[in-house]
Chain A
């Protein structure tokens, strides 16, 4: 899921200041905390109140989209409202905001949130943790499921380094656990220290380039076509 943080209300207000009718689009997708229609409504109320306090009338509508990062879903849900509103405020992550801007060329969509990172939700200790860095070269099979790229502050492929004391990392002032110690402990538990001792070459950062493109369905059909051509 994508972890997001609501922007400062002043910042959102500044963005929509030129408009008097706005559509507020929530997202029911993986956005965390969930930003569905009630959140859109609360944002609408806040913006209206802020406008009112500044002597301005703001009309708004709150609605929500199953997933804003899907062009067909986002397009068909948002389109019916477009005629009535001058701008859109999106409560999705950056993907949703970009998507709406691309689908609706004649309307500006503004982000209400900052997108932080992709993460897992831990209810136990009430935290969002970035366990994966989407690096394109998964090592989890060798590290007992703990990612050194995302969880080691230095992203080391072979660790631990000399910066750990009692299992805590020097980066951040010995507050966060050393990923490599955790990897060691967990591999030991499964009697798989053979994986720990294995040498891993440095990371291939070419696989992490941005922007990322992948033609999902085409990739396979192309391959089949190529095979057939070879034959």
Chain B
């Protein structure tokens, strides 16, 4: 394998991986707020892409407007999901709530299929179908959009959590919800906020990647699985770890194809899960494991 090839795997791996990372971050935010693993996370990604398709391709809105509106729409769906399916049962065991999210995922996927149809839909890349070439390593312009927006989202989130009252309140709820409540923070509002934030991040992931992968109603489950692997690798509950975990999965996946013997590349999805299992055997707390949810 030549250096150019290796770099090419890294470039595509990091790009795909940062999408997994955003999904993983979405998992983490809801997990921190509620202890739930939200299985409808993949559907948020898919809905982001599909709604963006309707606004950008079908309704010809400008890029930024379509992007913001699609993210907002999915955030609203996240809020509705929390309000209608989680809130009424918030005192049930966590496992019950997790099963509910599975139900929501099936519902959203069915709705997406009814609305957008069963076939994949094309979304044009934001800056045209062009690539930059560094030597013989190709960097599609859309990759730069993916990476740029991911970094922006992660940095923005960091600032939000560290420097705003709402962000700090959310963190407080994650650390100890009872103490937060005693301090006058509305925990249920923060939970609602975490669903909105998580859905928005996943929608963003779906929007930036759909020009590369096409938008399709059934792409969510696999993305959610990969994102979940990222969450575990990064250590459940650790935001930055989750993003890193996602990127690691992306890179391993592409390298796995690169090193696989001829004809075995069709099994790339297995790599993520082999890594997940190894991780659980060897270091269940994740690479960057640090339990933020437990408090003292």
Physical interaction between A and B: no
